[in-house]
Chains A and B, each alone.
Chain A
Amino acid sequence: MDLTPIWLTLKLAGITTVLLLAIGLPVAWWLSRGRSLFKIIIEAIITMPLVLPPSVLGFYLLLAFSPQHGPGKWLLRTFDIQFVFSFPGLVLASVIYSMPFMMGPIKSALQQLPPSLSQASHSLGKSRWQTFIHVLVPNIKPSLLTAIVLTFAHTLGEFGVVLMIGGNIPNVTRVASIAVYDAVEQMDYGTANTYSMILFAITFILVISVFIFNRYQLKSPLE
Chain B
Amino acid sequence: MISIDIEKKLKTYQGEQRLKIALQLPEGSITKIYGPSGAGKTTFLKIIAGFVKPEKGIIKTADETWLNTDSKIFLPPQKRKAGFVFQDYALFPNMTLQEHLEYATTDKAWIKRLLDIGRLENLVIHKPEYLSGGQQQRLAILRALAIKPKLLLMDEPFSAIDAKMKMTLITKLKTLFDELATTVLIVSHNQQELEMIPGEELNIP
Instruction: Tell me the A residues contacting B by CB distance below 8 Å.
Output: 114-117, 119-127, 134-135, 138-139, 220-222
Contacts and interface: CB of A to CB of B under 8 A. Distances in A.
Contact of B90 (A120, A127, A220): A120
Given A119-B51, A124-B143, A139-B93, A114 B78 contact: no
B146 interface: yes
A122 B90 contact: no
Contacts of A116: 86, 88, 90
Given A123-B77, A125-B81, A126-B78, A134 B93 contact: no
A5 B127 CA distance: 46
Contacts of A119: 46, 49, 51, 77, 84, 86, 90
Contacts of B93: 139, 220-222
- Select the residue from A122, A123, A126 with max chain B CB neighbours within 10 A: A123
24 contacts: A115-B51, A116-B86, A116-B90, A117-B92, A119-B77, A120-B84, A120-B90, A120-B92, A122-B77, A123-B49, A123-B51, A123-B77, A123-B80, A123-B81, A123-B144, A124-B103, A124-B143, A124-B146, A126-B103, A127-B78, A134-B103, A138-B94, A139-B92, A139-B94
Nearest to B128: A221
Nearest to B149: A123
Nearest to A141: B94
B83 interface: yes
Contacts of B49: 119, 123
B87 to A, nearest CB: 8
- 7 residue pairs, one from A and one from B, having the closest CB atoms: A116-B90, A138-B94, A120-B90, A122-B77, A221-B93, A123-B84, A221-B129
B148 to A, nearest CB: 11
Nearest to A131: B78
A117 B90 CA distance: 5
Contact of A135 (B78, B82, B94): B94
Interface of B: 46, 49-51, 76-78, 80-84, 86, 88, 90-94, 103-104, 127-129, 143-144, 146-147
Nearest to A138: B94
B94 A122 contact: no
Contacts of A120: 84, 86, 90-92, 143
A134 B146 CA distance: 17
A119 B89 CA distance: 11
A138 B129 CA distance: 15
A134 B94 CA distance: 9
A133 to B, nearest CB: 11
Given A119-B49, A119-B86, A125 B129 contact: no
A133 B26 CA distance: 37
Contacts of B81: 123-125
B135 to A, nearest CB: 15
Contact of A114 (B50, B83, B84, B90): B90
Contacts of A122: 50-51, 76-78
Contacts of B147: 124-125
A222 B51 CA distance: 22
B110 to A, nearest CB: 14
B66 to A, nearest CB: 13
